[in-house]
Amino acid sequence: MLHLPSYILLIPAIPICIWVAWSDMKFMRIPKVACYALFISFLIMGPLMFDMQEYGIRIAQGIVMLIAGFFITSIGLVGGGDSKFAAAMMPYIALMHIFPFLFIIAIMSFFFIALHKLIGITPGIKNYVKDWESWNSKGKFPFGVTLAGSLIAYLLLNIWYS
């Protein structure tokens, strides 16, 4: 069966997630406008795909994540851009899929950290991106890459398994 919402939500998610991943790797910053773009695209497309109850729940998820993100950022666990991007992503995730989505994030975290380290020790590749802030940022990892990859993986898995 065709899972139309996931196909439609991929349209804005893919370019925005690529932008977020690139920006976080290069500058260790996630542009606010990227977070706004992701959230606003859901605000526009959501009512066309979901009933008002589902739409409201998904918007509420984003608000709850934004509040939690402010707290998590204020105690220094993650960056502000990561928190804002996570809040903008939450409407894309069905409430019943929150725990599987956390599993996707965990897997993608291991994958992207390993890939980042591998690129960091591969001279031929690292020379192309040597001026990127993520290589010079000791003890920090551009988690926007993981968040962006996790959202795309979630939407693709929704399509695959629906």
Contact status, residue 79 vs residue 143, Cβ threshold 8 Å: yes
CA 6 from chain center: how many Å? Answer: 15
- Delimit the domains of the chain by residue range: 4-161
Closest by Cα among 118, 15, 134, 13 to 79: 134
State the sign of the Cα–Cα–Cα–Cα dihedral 110, 61, 81, 46: positive
Model pLDDT, residue 140: 86
What are the tens digits of pLDDT across the range 69-108?
Answer: 999 999 999 999 999 999 999 999 999 999 999 999 999 9
Closest by Cα among 86, 125, 115, 119 to 102: 86
Tell me the pLDDT band of 1, cut-offs 50, 70 and 90: very low
CA 35 from chain center: how many Å? Answer: 9
Contact status, residue 49 vs residue 8, Cβ threshold 8 Å: yes
Q: Which residue has the tokens 């993981």?
A: 146
Model pLDDT, residue 110: 96
Ranking 32-41, 48-57, 59-68, 127-136 by mean pLDDT, the lowest is 127-136
Give the mean pLDDT of 32-51: 96
Give the mean pLDDT of 111-138: 84
Model pLDDT, residue 2: 56
> Is 29 or 128 the better-scoring residue by pLDDT?
29
Supply the mean pLDDT for the chain. 93
Tokens of 90: 């939450």
Distances (CA, A) of 64 to 15, 32, 90: 25, 18, 9
State the sign of the Cα–Cα–Cα–Cα dihedral 26, 27, 33, 37: positive
